[in-house]
Amino acid sequence: MSEKKVPFTKDQIEKIIEKFPTPFHIYDEKAILENARRLKKAFAWAPKFQEYFAVKALPNPSIMKVLKKEGFGADCSSMAELLLCEMADITGEQIMFTSNETPAYEYQKAFSQNAIINLDDFTHIQYLEESCGTLPEVICFRYNPGPLKGGNEIIGTPQEAKYGLTREQMFEAYRVMKEKGCKRFGMHTMVASNELNVDYFVETAVILFEMAAEIAEQIGIDLEFINLGGGIGIPYKPEQHEVNLEELGEKVRVQYEKILASKGLKPYIYLECGRVITGPYGYLVTTAVHEKHIYKEYIGVDACMANLMRPGMYGAYHHVTVMGKENAEKDHVYDVVGSLCENCDKFAVDRKLPKIDKGDIVVIHDTGAHGHAMGFNYNGKLRSAELLLKEDGNVELIRRAETHDDLFATLKF
């Protein structure tokens, strides 16, 4: 079971709201740092272990700087994310650039930053060389294991995914790059999203380790690193259990020793987790502004799907806490909804909650990944502020709320 608590009291959040009106996302720095250290410790056995934080999960340079203090790099997939690295002073091979259908200017930017470029397709070898005029010192390829790997609900089955190279293409890609004079090589895959089964990730590691051993034997390339990807999930529902990172690290270690180290191969191990690092430690704070009694009971809040897309897009569960009523009986059934002109704009459906009154502070849990990041402006809705609850208890504004001037800036030209 996962315990759903908030890192502030009703009095504390009311004082924060006096300065920063709802809605806003707030992130718990202390919890994020403790969790980052836990992941590092679980993989401390691995040679030069490196975590590249998946910027897409929480693209804010203040968060990236917090994680940089723990030695985390950045996993990027777009120009904007590369630029955020510059804002966070993350440089060189602390950046892993994994994109698909990549425009030339993005490759050129990653190349100029000396980022590790992870190619998504065999044809991108020539495209990268033509775009940058040469090839980088280190190159990586993203593997799509196809029928070797079962599917994951969010990301889909590998055979139907647009990402990566086939097994045959991987071998040919390394041969080609060796002939072109490349000396440093990596391998990557990403086949899961929000997965809670430890053994799913161990199985993925085995697939990559066995391929790395074959590449060493057949092509004579000892991979410098293996990026096991990300996709480690979090327990959005109270009845779910978090992934045991210590068990995961140990099981991967056993396979590493068995498949690679026993053959004298010792590639570095990388991860690119996002959700599991920050997801549980973000909260969307909103205020109940309306109640409605028709065929169902509704509570309208001042946040909407523009602030948190996941429930409307995926039907995803996010836990809800009503501040000051944590221990009250959950004797009402509500749909908690926003003001967007879409019927899917619902944070909770048929949810048992304590009686909610207008003016109550409603906190939506687990928004520290793919929350604000997936915001949008449909209906002209403005994206909210982001706050950081510092280790010392102070609160820092790390992204101001949008204004209508921001929204209309591209129209005034």
Which candidate in 76, 182, 304, 341 is catalytic?
341
> With pLDDT > 70 as the criterion, what percentage of the chain qualifies?
96
Whether residue 32 lies inside any domain: the answer is: no
Q: Is 344 a known active-site residue?
A: no
Unique residue bearing structure tokens 């921001």: 406
pLDDT at 148: 67
175 is in an annotated binding site: no
184 is in an annotated binding site: no
Separation of CA 36 from chain center: 13
pLDDT at 3: 85
Mean pLDDT value across the chain = 95
> In this structure, what DSSP letter does residue 321 have?
E
Domain CATH for 284: 2.40.37.10
Whether residue 4 lies inside any domain: the answer is: no
CB atoms inside a 10 Å sphere around CB 228: 25
Whether residue 337 lies inside any domain: the answer is: yes
Residues 288, 239 within the same domain: no
CB atoms inside a 10 Å sphere around CB 111: 18
The answer to whether residue 262 scores a pLDDT higher than 70 is yes
pLDDT at 146: 81
Whether residue 342 lies inside any domain: the answer is: yes
391 is in an annotated binding site: no
**Residue 75 exposed, middle or buried by CB count within 10 Å (0-12, 13-18, 19+):** buried
Question: Domain range holding 321?
Answer: 10-25+280-411
> With pLDDT > 90 as the criterion, what percentage of the chain qualifies?
93
310 is in an annotated binding site: yes
pTM over 0.85: yes
Query: Quick one: the chain helix, strand, coil %, rounded to 5?
Result: 35, 25, 40
> Which of 249, 273, 297 is the C-terminal boundary of a domain?
273
pLDDT at 152: 56
Which distant-in-sequence residues (6+ apart) come within 8 Å of 329 by Cβ? 354
pLDDT at 413: 80
Residue pLDDT, tens place only, 41-99: 999 999 999 999 999 999 999 999 999 999 999 999 999 999 999 999 999 999 999 99
312 is in an annotated binding site: no
Q: What is the rounded average pLDDT of the residues 190-218?
A: 95
Q: 20 falls in which pLDDT band (50, 70, 90)?
A: very high
272 is in an annotated binding site: yes
Residue pLDDT, tens place only, 148-182: 656 555 555 666 667 899 999 999 999 999 999 99
> Which of 257, 273, 289 is the C-terminal boundary of a domain?
273
Q: What is the rounded average pLDDT of the residues 18-35?
A: 98
> Which of 229, 257, 273 is the C-terminal boundary of a domain?
273
Residue pLDDT, tens place only, 378-411: 999 999 999 999 999 999 999 999 999 999 999 9
How many structural domains are present in the chain?
2
Residue pLDDT, tens place only, 286-296: 999 999 999 99
Residues 250, 301 within the same domain: no
pLDDT at 161: 66
> For residues 278 and 368, is the Cβ–Cβ distance under 8 A?
yes
